[in-house]
Amino acid sequence: MGVRPEDGFAEDGARARRVLVREIEAYGTLHDPAWRTAFSEVPRHLFVPCYYVSGTGGYERLWSGDPDPGRRARWLHGAYQDEPLATRVRDGELLTSSSQPSLMARMLEALEVRDGQDVLEIGAGTGYNAALLSHRLGAEHVTTVDLDEETTESARVHLAAAGYRPAVITGDGARGCPGRAPFDRIVATCTVPSIPYAWLSQCRPEALVLAPLSTGLILLRVRDASHAEGRFLPTSAYFVALRGGNARFPRRRPMGLPRQVFDDERFRFLRTLAEDTLDAREALSLWQRERRPERERFGVTVLGGRQWAWLDDPEGPYAWPLPSG
């Protein structure tokens, strides 16, 4: 557990965290007291000293050093809202963000970590997620990787300010971090088009891998370096794509597809997951025939150099190949 230094917003931040924790609990998350303590004690505002909010004229910047006390108060209040925060924007494009805290809590609890386990995080972001992991497990058990050197340096500074010093590595997240392997858990905070095989080879047997895929979260149990399998969690999830990856999300409604169908979260999940195999009409036919299946009916298998998504049964009639990892 880190010992964070005091800062000018410590007291107000502590009050705001208590409110945030109650809000997250209201969503049915934070069953594990250890994670509740982590969210109660890790100061999110230290990880988002500057962020952007959408406005009519584009993005508006809020930051901790604003000379206007009203805007500083807005910044601190926003830092503890249960919302994602845009932290880096370039030419109108979102590059990095701090994820919605309640979604982070769901993902961290789904990892089912135990004392002494080693965790690899793909996508350092602001460093906040790595801080929560460090609080729970000890910083020596946490490694976070990001392709962008500016991102890792910023995360490292934020983590140190909060009193945590996990391994922060600049590198290609798709390749994992072989120098720190093996790992008991791998969690990605960026969307991937498929599961990188390098991750499995860096896992201990029975490790868990949790990653955003399509518009959901796949949780895989690793059997060995070439075999993993699991199902999607019930929740939807939208993350920035793994840098260098080719994650895709349908943005245009195909001709003849009703708007209410295209806008349905469950249909878009299937449509994206099977985009290379099913056209829009085929996906619609399957979706209706299977009575609008929930995410948890879908899964992914990685085996012997290939991987595929499936509905209900890995060997059943509904399966779609995923890109090579």
195, 176 in Cβ contact below 8 A?
A: no
The answer on pLDDT for 246 being more than 60 is no
Distance CA(232)–CA(244), nearest Å, equals: 24
Name the percent of the chain lying above pLDDT 70.
92
pLDDT given at position 255: 52
| Residue in the block written with tokens 């249909």 | 267
Which spans in 59-100 are helix H?
69-79
pLDDT given at position 93: 73
Distances 295 to 70, 160, 232, 254, 299 between C-alpha atoms, Å: 43, 38, 6, 22, 8
Strand order in the sheet with 142-146: 167-170, 142-146, 119-122, 183-188, 203-213, 216-224, 227-232, 298-303, 306-311, 319-321
Distance CA(30)–CA(18), nearest Å, equals: 13
pLDDT given at position 1: 44
Nearest to 127 by CA among 156, 149, 105, 104: 156
Q: Please state the domain extents for the chain.
A: 259-321
Residues designated catalytic:
99
What are the pLDDT digits (tens) for 17-41? 999 999 999 988 999 999 999 999 9
